[in-house]
Amino acid sequence: MTSTESRGTPIELNAVIVAVENCTPYLLTTDDLALPSGPFESGHRTLEQGLRAWARLKGAQTLGYVEQLYTFADRDRTTAGTRSVSIGYLALVHDPAQPLGHDWSPWYRHFPWEDHRDGTPAIIAAQILPALEAWKNAAPDAPTREIQAERIGIAFPRDPRQWNEELVLQRYELLWQAELVAEAGTGARDSFGLAMPFDHRRIVATAMARLRAKIKYRPVVFELLPREFTLLHLQNTVEALAGLRLHKQNFRRLVEQQGLVEETGATTRGASGRPAKLFSFRRKVLQERAMAGTKLPRTG
């Protein structure tokens, strides 16, 4: 920090642009599966506005929710030889009018171990755990093995009920260190999930983790839904993001007791089964409860 080598570092923006269609979350990518990115443009007042304008140009639907994720600047993060700094953004696209095209990639293709909606994915017991075992056992000393074993146990617990869907980034980093993802470079033996260029899969992991954490305390799911939706549609979307099945009745109780939605009066028609009421998001809650609230045992 004492050097004056501040000619300037190239800054780029990377956006994880998410849409959900038919119970599947998708990422907007370029042809080579890279995240859309561009140079930092100083013409906009804020980074976020710049991102929105740029996404419009790139042909993504208009971005709804936008949030800064993280600034990535490890030394080994080099694009075209020079070290680069990237500011990652997460953006959510409302239910797209036209079906998603070929430039949208289902995110579980890149993270097959993260989708637990139909039970623990087979790849975990069949391939990931054995490979991690082997990696752990290759550690030089016992204490290290101990620590690795702990990490593995937390990231990929045996008991399905222990699965913590938020640990997306920890899991990806664990697989990286064990050289079980192609991006780790050094001649990975096994490679799980569809790789992405540069550190983009890491950025996506960060985005998934953030999103999975956020849906629990902020009504962001609605940024991925059309204006009107059924409660089942809402639940399916949350499940798609979390990669988990939820208890239907309790999910509804939660949604209603929090006053997140209101009936529009209309119902679905034509489908099989009892028609469902249509709901819309109560924008007011954004103001009413600027946030859930406390976990501290306050006085008064």
Partner DNA sequence: CCTGTTATGCTCCATATGAGCATTAATAGG
Partner DNA sequence: CCTATTAATGCTCATATGGAGCATAACAGG
Question: Residue 25's beta-bridge partner residues?
Answer: 20
Distance in angstroms (rounded) separating the CA atoms of residues 37 and 26: 17
Could you give the C-alpha distances from 62 to 65, 94, 96, 225, in angstroms and in order? 10, 8, 10, 14
Q: In whole angstroms, how close is the CB of 73 to its own copies at the nearest point?
A: 5
Name which of 119 and 187 has its Cβ closer to its own copies: 119
Q: Which does residue 11 bind out of its own copies, DNA, none, counting CB within 5 to 8 angstroms by kind?
A: its own copies
Q: In whole angstroms, how close is the CB of 75 to DNA at the nearest point?
A: 41
Cα dihedral 175/176/179/183 (nearest 10):
130
Residue 232 has a CB neighbour count (10 Å cut-off) of 14
Name which of 184 and 244 has its Cβ closer to DNA: 244
Q: Which of residues 231-290 bind its own copies (CB under 8 A)?
A: 238, 242, 244-247, 250-251, 253-254, 287, 290
Give the 3-state DSSP-derived string for 97-124, with helices as H, strands as E and coil as C: CCCCCCCEEEHHHHCHHHCCECECCHHH
Name which of 247 and 284 has its Cβ closer to DNA: 247
Q: In whole angstroms, how close is the CB of 121 to DNA at the nearest point?
A: 20
CA-nearest of 284, 282, 278 to 263 is 278
Instruction: Figure out which of the listed residues 50, 121, 193, 243 binds its own copies, where binding follows CB under 8 A.
Output: 50
Q: Which does residue 257 bind out of its own copies, DNA, none, counting CB within 5 to 8 angstroms by kind?
A: DNA
β-strand 24-28 against 11-21: which pairing, if any? antiparallel
Give me the residues that bind its own copies (CB under 8 A), please: 1-13, 38-47, 50, 53-54, 57, 68, 70-71, 73-76, 83, 85, 87, 150-151, 154, 160-161, 164, 166-167, 170, 215-217, 238, 242, 244-247, 250-251, 253-254, 287, 290-291, 293-300
